[in-house]
Amino acid sequence: MSPIDLACSLTGILSERESLSLYRSKKMNHPSLLQVSVNMPGQDKNADPAPYLFRQCIQCLEARGRRVFGFIGDFEIRSGALGKVGLVSSKLNGLELKNTLLEFEQQERLASYWDLDVFDYDGRSLSRRSLGVPERKCWICSEPAKACSAEMRHSTSTLLKKMQSDAVSELRRNSQMI
CB-based contacts of 106: which residues, under 8 Å, 6+ apart?
Answer: none
Backbone phi, then psi, for 109, in 5-degree steps? -65, -35
For the beta carbon of residue 62, count every other beta carbon within 10 angstroms. 14
- Structural domain boundaries in the chain: 3-134
**pLDDT for 76-131, tens place per residue?**
999 999 999 999 999 999 999 999 999 999 999 999 999 999 999 888 999 998 89
Confidence class for position 6, pLDDT limits 50, 70, 90: very low
In contact, 34 and 97? CB cutoff 8 Å: yes
